[in-house]
Amino acid sequence: MSRWRCWGALAVALAAGPVLGGCSSVKGGPERLYAVAEETTLIRDQLRRIDLAEFSALAEAGRMRYRNDWIAARMYAIDIQYTSYEAALTQERQNVGFGAAATTLGLTAASGLVAPVATKDLLTALAGFVTGARAAYDDNILLAHSMQWVQSQMRTQRTLVAERIFRGLKRSTADYSLAQALSDLEDYYRAGTFTGGLIATSETLGAEAKNAAEVRFGANASTEALQDCLRKPGARNALLNLMSPRSSLALGRLTVDTSAEAEAARTELLNKARAAGVC
Amino acid sequence: MQQLIVRDVTQERLQRTVQGLKDAGATNVDPKRQADGKYTVTATFPD
């Protein structure tokens, strides 16, 4: 095999990553009529500074229009900046992950096509380097927290704050003051930041953890007595009425939990149920 | 919605356990086999 062919194979392999990494599917989206910077400038030029004296002097209809126009324009400015930011986050993840995978595949394929041992070793070493670089990146904190999940939390939070703002904009300035609207606008901006997404993620995971209970299975005479009782028509509601607080999850737990605490609660419940003629 | 995760349910007790959780008000009960042959049962309750 000629030297040129060897270098050709290497060039093809190295080119595969960047070429595939530049596919349309991994770009942020179609071209804009105005670039983000141009559009931001247009909005800024159109937007007057808030003049509280002028705002206060207006009649209620004028104040609402002033507030709503100002908030809507700022929201739009935040939206176009956010789109750009979100696309950059997505591209960052895709370029490294997909680009490295494509380059590795290209190098592996090329090493099978060339004969000289030295070239194969070089290609294999390069493939190992690229794979190692990706592994190092994957260990990065951004990916450890799953960027996709964080981005989805950012979108959710932005939608929630936007809904709050839109509801507010329908109200009078006495009910939804300009200051409140500006504070919500700041929340809207923060919801679209990576920090906002991380906070929302940890809150969501915390809430999910709070809503899950875990127990090791156990069975004895009293769990079977409770299960037998539950099979009777109307027993479930009657048993729930005897519980404080009323909780079907707690009732379900009593059918499988043989810890001392659960045993005591189950015995008390069964005694009450027997006295009431339920079981 | 709240979830109750019950670990180490034996094969012999599985059917009765699932039925007991449903009778207690679980809207969805999902048993999954563990590596040791026992089952982890996830029950979803509306409250």
Q: Give phi and psi for A151, each to the nearest 5.
A: -65, -40
Number of inter-chain CB pairs under 8 A, A vs B: 84
Contact B20, A255 (CB under 8 A): yes
Given strand B39-45, what is the order of strands in its sheet?
A212-216, B2-9, B39-45, B28-33
Give me the residue from B1, B4, B8 closest to A216, CB to CB: B8
Confidence of residue A134 (pLDDT cuts 50, 70, 90): low
Determine the pLDDT at residue A72: 94
Q: Is B17 an interface residue toward A (CB < 8 Å)?
A: yes
Confidence of residue A121 (pLDDT cuts 50, 70, 90): low
Higher pLDDT, A40 or A138: A40
Q: Is the pLDDT of residue A274 over 80?
A: yes
Determine the pLDDT at residue A35: 87
Q: Which of A214, A255, A269 should we substitute to test contact with B (largest number of B Cβ atoms within 10 Å)?
A: A255
Angle at A49 between CA A44 and CA A54, to 5 degrees: 145
Chain A environment of B47 (Cβ under 8 Å): 246-249
Q: Is the pLDDT of residue A6 over 50?
A: no
Confidence of residue A234 (pLDDT cuts 50, 70, 90): very high
Higher pLDDT, A250 or A206: A250
Q: Structural domain boundaries of chain B?
A: 2-45
Q: Structural domain boundaries of chain A?
A: 3-210, 221-275
Average the pLDDT over A113-138 and give the result.
51
pLDDT tens digit sequence for A154-188: 888 898 899 999 999 999 999 999 999 999 999 99
Chain B environment of A255 (Cβ under 8 Å): 17, 20-21, 23-24
Determine the pLDDT at residue A15: 42
- End-to-end CA distance of chain A, in Å? 88
In the numeric block, the tokens 């189950």 are attached to A266
Higher pLDDT, A198 or A239: A239
Q: Is B18 an interface residue toward A (CB < 8 Å)?
A: no
Instruction: Fill in the DSSP letter of residue A48.
Output: P
Determine the pLDDT at residue A205: 66
Determine the pLDDT at residue A269: 96
Chain A environment of B19 (Cβ under 8 Å): 227, 231
Q: Give phi and psi for A95, each to the nearest 5.
A: -60, -45
Q: What ipTM did this prediction achieve?
A: 0.97
Tell me if the pTM is above 0.80: no
Chain B environment of A236 (Cβ under 8 Å): 23-25
Average the pLDDT over A38-49 and give the result.
86
